[in-house]
Amino acid sequence: MGSFLQIKIYRSKFIAYTVFVVSLGLALGTLTCAVMLYQWIENVRSDAVSAFARIENELQLDADRIEAYMQRIYSNNRLMTDARYFLGNSAEEYQTSRLQDSHFTEPLVSFPDDLKAFLYGSVQGVISQISLHTESQGNMIRFDSSGNGSFSFRLPNTDEAFRETIEKGFVYRKKLSDPNQISRQIGEFRFLVSSEQLFKKIDSYKLDTAAAVSTSGEVYMISDGNSYAEGLVLQAAEDGRNSGYLSLSGLKNVYFFTFSSTKFDYSFIVLVDLPLLIRQNASIIAVVLFIILMSMISVLLIIVYNLRDDARFLQRIIYSIKRVKTADFTSNFPAKYRQNEYGMIARELDDMILQLDKHIRTEYLLKLKQQETEMKALQHQINPHFLYNTLEAIRSTALVNRDVDTADAIATLGALYRDIVKKENIITIGSELELLQKYLKIMELKYPRRFYYQLNVDETLLSLSTVKFWMQPLAENFFVHGFNPGNEFNLLVVNGWEADAHYVLEFVDNGKGISHTRLEKIRQNLSSLDDAPAQSIGLHNVYIRLHFFYGEVFSMEIANNEEAGVKITVMIAKE
């Protein structure tokens, strides 16, 4: 890491990247926490909406049941009569009036019992108090949580038992009219829905602080009933918004939801303690922050890796330039290049140095080979006419002795030698095939009815330039290593054709083949430009000459045939 920090440009980049990544991580962490906090608040809001809907539904059910009971009273004369006895009388007067009006042939109707059976049994104690009032006083029936009733008679309407507060509950008022004259009101029913029993039905909802607030400012704490919470509830009720934040002293912040009832004049308020909510979900926040932190570290490590590689390539470029300036073209340690400008420049510089070194070495070797060739040519040019005259004298003697085959072989050898000496070093593949054919005719005369050859080369290859006398050594290898004199059918085939990207020349025989170990060694020797080993001079010489002539577009492959013999493939790229 320190290597790239020593370079000013990369040190500045690293500082800028670090500031950017840290800023982005902090922003992402803040945004993620804000989104999660909003989602948690929405979850509380969803529970609050469900709880408020449950309360409103219960109040509506109570209203429906009360309305149904009023219809029941008006449709039952005896029940109406008993309710009128209950209205305004004491307990003794109520019982006396009932007994005086009863008939032994009919069952005795009880307004309190019927009220308990119809209302309390179905509502399960939500309606905890029913009272029947005149203009000045009222008689009351109160039910406990078990459904047992207690009675109070002739209580003034101003009595504490009839005072309507949200702490006690919600009161439904229903007029009791004279059934004979419906416009004349004879009393009033008051049905009290207990706040305790009503709000107990929302205990299953996860609400930290919930309360009901009347329009007069009375507060009924459904949960978390302390004075501090009551103050927050009143502050939320006075805020006038349906939801929002309440900023308190210190770090104490709450979020509130307000729902106004359509049944009674009260509001249902839910408070969300934000610090408590965060503490409850601290593990989730910690996991998210840890993931963001690890992501930031990973991004910084990737940046460090990239900057370090860029710095390494820049140093390599500087080092390569220094090597060129000092004429040091030796091979350098390999580097893994990346797909960017620095990598491209470093790769091109290394390739340039390798090409310069290769070019210098190739030119040097070519000059040596040229000098060696010139020396051999001078040596072979010493009195060539003496050899021609000698071969012609031997041929004449063979003809005198009527040995036509020997005479033809000598003539072919003389023509072959004359072409080798007189022709230029750069000839066409067609001319090279003619030299090969003369050699193969000599071998055909040497092994009559035991050796055969075929030349199948496309015309498109005949005009291509090549070096002289490289096919004969390949054919000679067959006679030295693969030819079987005891075999009646020794075959050498030369094929040539044009492929999509290459010209291909193939030399195939049906000889003995090459062992796997020996074949691998020959392949290794061919890929080396050093001096050839004693056992593969011919092949190595051909490979070197063709490589010097064609360059990298040339390749030679040697392999065994599947059935028998060896196949040598020479490929020359069309480039």
Between CA 94 and CA 102 the distance in angstroms is 12
CB-CB neighbours of 317 under 10 Å? 17
Closest CA to 256 of 507, 503, 41, 509: 41
Helices marked H in 138-218 — which ranges? Answer: 195-199
pLDDT (0 to 100) of residue 192: 92
In eight-state DSSP terms, residue 111 is: H
Q: Could you give the residue range(s) of every CATH 3.30.565.10 domain in the chain?
A: 451-573
For residue 555, list its beta bridge partners. Answer: 571
**pLDDT of res. 382:** 42
Collapse the DSSP code of 190 into the 3-class scheme (helix H, G, I; strand E, B; otherwise coil) and give the result.
Answer: strand
Calculate the dihedral angle through the C-alpha atoms of 422, 424, 427, 430, rounding to the nearest 10 degrees. -10
Whether the Cβ atoms of residue 48 and residue 285 lie closer than 8 Å to each other: no
C-alpha dist (Å) from residue 256 to 205, 207, 416: 16, 11, 111
CA separation for the pair 212, 219 (Å, rounded): 6
What pLDDT sits at residue 535?
A: 56
Interval 264-291: pLDDT, tens? 889 999 998 888 888 888 899 899 989 9
Q: Does domain 451-573 have CATH number 3.30.565.10?
A: yes
Whole-number pLDDT of residue 383: 45
pLDDT in tens, 102-135: 666 667 788 888 888 877 665 456 888 899 999 9
Amino acid at 153: F
- Residues 208, 210, 216: CA angle, nearest 5 degrees: 155
Q: Alpha helix locations (H) across 116-244?
A: 121-123, 195-199, 227-239
Per-residue pLDDT of the chain in tens (575 residues, 90 and over written 9)? 456 666 667 777 778 888 888 999 899 989 998 899 889 889 989 999 999 999 999 899 889 888 988 998 988 888 888 888 898 889 898 888 888 876 666 677 888 888 888 776 654 568 888 999 999 999 999 887 777 788 999 999 999 989 989 989 999 999 999 888 888 899 999 999 988 888 888 888 888 889 999 988 899 998 866 667 888 888 888 888 888 888 766 556 889 999 999 888 899 999 988 888 888 888 998 999 899 999 989 988 888 877 777 777 777 777 777 777 776 666 565 555 555 566 667 677 777 777 777 777 677 676 767 666 655 554 454 445 445 555 555 656 666 666 666 766 666 666 666 666 656 678 899 988 988 888 888 888 888 888 899 999 999 999 898 888 888 888 888 888 888 888 888 899 999 999 888 899 999 998 888 888 888 888 888 776 655 554 556 788 888 888 888 888 888 999 998 878 899 999 998 86
d(CA 320, CA 179): 116
Provide the 3-class DSSP secondary structure of residue 306: helix
- Give, as one character, the DSSP assignment of residue 132: E
For residue 113, the Cα-to-chain-centroid distance in whole angstroms is 72
- C-alpha span between 528 and 522 (Å, rounded): 10
